[in-house]
Amino acid sequence: MGVVVTLAAVALISTAATSTKPVAPPNDYTNLKVLPKDISSKDLQELMTDDFEDGLGVTCGFCHADARDGHGLDFASDAKPEKEIARAMMRMTIGINKKYFKIKHPQLGNAGLTITCNTCHKGVPFPDGDGDAK
């Protein structure tokens, strides 16, 4: 009797495992216009916290709009102009590293970059423009 129950349990688990739908990968982000579309969750999180949050002294809500339901943030939304400004700054940073420092394939978040967000921002969202953040 115990063998029958065990076999039935194995059959049920096997059927359940093969009939489940594949889960979308956690890095299925939408509306990425500068960052690689296949960026990993880990790389994106590190970039957002180490480069943007630390470099500008801001939190996610600085660039990302509130969700329509009032709970959390809508990361795909372009409702806040700061998000497009951030994209322009990312393009500028990549361009400077490529043109002036001859980095062949500069990627944001790479420790080998010469120019980063922190180069100018130094922990504040609005640097004063004379090279020293206030």
Q: For the segment 43-97, what is each residue's pLDDT rounded down to a tens digit?
A: 999 999 999 999 999 999 999 999 999 999 999 999 999 999 999 999 999 999 9
Q: Which residues pair with 65 in a beta bridge?
A: 74
Assess if residue 130 is contained within a domain: no
**Amino acid (1-letter code) at residue 8:** A
CA distances from 9 to 6, 12, 18, 21, 70 (A): 5, 5, 14, 21, 44
Q: Is residue 54 helix, strand or coil?
A: helix
The residues near 117 (Cβ < 8 Å, ≥ 6 apart) are 51, 52, 55, 56, 89, 93
> What local confidence, expressed as pLDDT, does residue 132 receive?
56
> What local confidence, expressed as pLDDT, does residue 45 receive?
95
Assess if residue 104 is contained within a domain: yes
Assess if residue 7 is contained within a domain: no
With a cut of 60, say whether residue 105 has pLDDT above it: yes
Assess if residue 18 is contained within a domain: no
Assess if residue 128 is contained within a domain: no
Asked whether the whole model's pTM tops 0.85, one would answer no
Assess if residue 45 is contained within a domain: yes
Assess if residue 132 is contained within a domain: no
Q: Using the 8-state DSSP alphabet, how is residue 66 labeled?
A: E
Domain of residue 50 covers 26-121
Other beta carbons within 10 angstroms of residue 95's beta carbon come to: 12
Assess if residue 71 is contained within a domain: yes
Q: How many domains does the chain have?
A: 1
